[in-house]
Amino acid sequence: MIVEIEATSGFCFGVERAVEAAEKALAGEHEVFCLGEIVHNPHEVQRLSNKGLKRTNHNDLPSLSGKTVMIRAHGEPPETYQTLRQSRNKLIDATCPVVLKLQKRVKKAWEENPNAQIVIYGKPGHPEVVSLSGQIGHKAIIVSDQHESLEKIDFRKSVVLFSQTTQSLEGFHGLVKELECRLKNHHAGLSEALIVNDTICRQVSRRGPAIKKFALSHDVVIFVSGANSSNGRYLFGLCLEANPNSYLVEQAGELRKDWFKGARSTGITGATSTPCWQLEEIALAIKNL
């Protein structure tokens, strides 16, 4: 049986950059604290933990005076930086450059459109969304899809729309259409009522079509992802849509021999938070079944 790992799989640029920053810091120090989970993958978290990376939270920051603290790729709101400065912590800022640029755009839009509502298409409570809304004092309206949460928007006022970088393009375009439909009932022209900023990361959005094509080219697909990865759940859904013989696993021990009965080829892929070493581990386990 042929076993192939999808060429575009592995960490996205932002996560890879954060992991490299952690490894570099750990090579020179015995102890580094990461604010939150560095990546939504328990096996990669454990690998880095074995090297000395420790997880901390916002409540514990004041007690970490003088320690090395890392901000992960999702970014943080301004008040986190203030707390770190007050605690005299050594800061490693691994905020993804794409997110960092988006933070600045959200703040600028707020300053240039004081009477408008800043709407962010994203997952409420997601660390990136918190970091974005934090740029404007957490006054952004968070909308999770085109059907829910819209009651928080006052359609008599104009809207400036942004998106969490890892959201789906289809969902974003659907939300834009819904906003246009509702806003036109209160405004003569949509050009002033709605400013659309498509801020979805293209490295992430391109994974969807690539995964669908990859899933269609194999008899069986094994999708590797941490259980708490929202990106993983979304991409696995696309896999399953393209190929019903798709299976979601978090580790090699979850593989079942009967999945591969009669299969001539198996494809392996994963979330943007799944490391290449884990995909290779799964591939080896399949060959040894």
Give the rounded distance of the alpha carbon of 272 from its chain centre.
8
145-160 exposure pattern, b = at least 16 Cβ within 10 A, e = fewer: bbeeebeebebeebbb
At 219 the three-state DSSP class reads coil
The CA–CA distances, whole Å, from 145 to 119, 148, 207, 216, 270 equal 12, 6, 20, 28, 24
Q: Report the distance separating Cα 265 and Cα 286, nearest Å.
A: 11
Could you tell me the two tokens for 191? 């050009």
Q: Which of 128, 241, 250, 254 is catalytic?
A: 128
- Phi and psi at residue 162, to the nearest 5°: -130, 170
Q: Is residue 254 annotated as part of the catalytic site, yes or no?
A: no
Q: Report the distance separating Cα 266 and Cα 96, nearest Å.
A: 33
CB burial of residue 131 (10 Å; 0-12, 13-18, 19+)? buried
Q: Report the distance separating Cα 14 and Cα 164, nearest Å.
A: 14
Q: Report the distance separating Cα 75 and Cα 132, nearest Å.
A: 8
Q: Report the distance separating Cα 44 and Cα 94, nearest Å.
A: 16
CB neighbourhood size of 220 (10 A) = 22
Q: Which residues are catalytic?
A: 128
